[in-house]
Amino acid sequence: MAKHIFITGGVVSGLGKGITGSSLGVLLKNSGLKIFMQKFDPYLNIDPGTINPIEHGEVYVTDDGGETDLDLGHYERFIDVNLSKNSSTSAGRIYYEALEKERNGKYGGKTVQVIPHITEEIKQRIYKAELESQADVIITEVGGTVGDIESQPFLEALRQVRMERGKDNVMFVHVALLPYLKVSGEFKTKPIQHSVKELLNLGIQPDVIIARSEMEFDQKLKDKISLLCSIPVENVIECPDSDSIYKVPLVIEKWNLHKIAAEQLKLKLDNTNLEDWKKLVSNIEESKDVLTVHIVGKYVELSDAYLSVMESLKFAGYEIKKKIKFNWVNARKLTRENLESELSGAKGILVPGGFGEDGVEGKILAAEFARVNNIPYLGICLGMQIACIEFARNVLNLKDAHTTEINPNTKNPIIDIMEGKNTENIGGTLRLGRYVTSLKSGTLASELYNGDTAIERHRHRYEFNNDFRKIFEENGMVFSGIYTEKDLVEIIEYPKNEFFIAAQYHPEFTSRPNKPNPLFMGFVNAINKR
């Protein structure tokens, strides 16, 4: 039976519950325990797959094809454990499954209510994670903020888990804001007090409070929070703002959060080994020289839409002690007239994934600019498809070349719908999850991966049309990665350029702080070389 740590948030959202949970996971894992993480989100979408990235940030894809919340990316990058679709659960999925049971008569004619039926569905998710993961500790983040109507069924379910399992097996960590008022020059504990009061009204007494603040604070404030929130003073953990989220594990190690958890949950810890993590932080601090990457995307209003891409670039930079700077280019506003001014001086151009017509022509112009001017280029998912369209239009002279996603009537459908797929249902109908790519020997791809296979995660519906493969190859394009089971193109590269490569999959989902994905590492090295 696993031990459970539940992470809740108070006062405002965006305080870093996911980073807190992930950082605690790092400490426990590096103390010899097996860790699993999951996220409960209060929104009513079945999953984030159909939510606009500008609304909610990127959709993170797991090995088994789950379209999940971006916080799972933080979990995987920190604890270096491949999670599953069951690690991300929305209120919408909970209600959907409960109503399916009601329609199928599974409740035996009973009146279906939030308590006990919805809370039981939530609890079963928690207990199912125990069986699936066989973890020593399961860390669960509850999305939203205490006091939100949408979160109440989840918090009630967690209260019941504590009742059923006891305090020796269940721990509550509450992350709340400790604001500093510059006008009076003092911290204010009242917001933390009120958020803890909200938890108490729901029957939950937090065991630990993570006080998120702009700066460090003194012992008197800890004593005050301890007294007014009824927790031991050593369980009040200060966590001031940091210039890197990867420093947070070392911050909470300083305050012994992992040892506090171990004492309450009766866990046996080995000596905590954070040498790799300290090396990462050292590399971050030593990364002074800047490398600039031009990212040409359609969701540039919210950088979280490309969170895993950004982190993957940073990891590659840290490996060579370079700081990566992002130059955002709005693909929707990129035209032939402003192309030179927007991309002149670019040392590396990355075109990430996306859906829909907006920005596609701008991305095609960016791919052309990179190819013609021999600028290192990395294309991801749609970024590969538009590189193929650009090549067809400007090298093969197939002027109406396009993807049938946008122009179903094109005479040269370079990118076409996957066999057996349809466009009627959007959610959960893409090619999702982990697939094995076979790499052609002697290519850039095989050199970067240092082998003959790449195992990466996918999220798309359209593929390169093999009818055009021969003419592409005759004109210099190399198809260096193939999903052999269905003969699908996974990687293209253009050897005439110093570095021009694009993948149908999403390499950003397998990049880790101390293990950058090979495509990102190669891309950053190519920029550095220039």
Residues annotated catalytic, as ranges: 381, 506, 508
Strands (E), 311-452: 323-330, 349-351, 377-380, 402-403, 413-417, 431-439
| Local structure of 399: helix, strand or coil | coil
Give the separation between CA 70 and CA 357, rounded to whole angstroms: 24
- Residue by residue, DSSP assigns 165-200 as H-TTTEEEEEEEE--EETTTTEE--HHHHHHHHHHH
Contacts of 309 (CB under 8 A, 6+ apart): 295, 350, 352, 380, 508
Give the separation between CA 20 and CA 175, rounded to whole angstroms: 8
Neighbours of 28 (CB within 10 A): 27
- The C-alpha torsion from 347 through 350 and 356 to 361, rounded to 10°, is 30
Burial class (CB in 10 A: 0-12, 13-18, 19+), 30: buried
Chain-centroid distance, C-alpha 112: 35
Q: 61-70 burial by CB neighbour count: b if 16+ within 10 A, else e?
A: bbbebbbbbb
Q: 273-309 burial by CB neighbour count: b if 16+ within 10 A, else e?
A: ebeebeebbebbeebeeebebbbbbbbbeebebbbbb
Query: What angle (nearest 5°) sits at the alpha carbon of residue 156, between those of residues 40 and 264?
Result: 85
CA-to-CA dists, residue 295 to 480, 524, 525, 528, angstroms = 24, 13, 17, 16
Token pair 């220039």: residue: 530
Contacts of 421 (CB under 8 A, 6+ apart): 429, 430, 431, 461
Burial class (CB in 10 A: 0-12, 13-18, 19+), 230: exposed
Give the separation between CA 17 and CA 143, rounded to whole angstroms: 8
Give start and end residues of each alpha helix (H) in 86-118.
91-103
Peptide bond into 116 cis (omega under 30): yes
Helix (H) or strand (E) holding 17: helix 17-29
What would the two tokens of residue 8 be? 């809740």
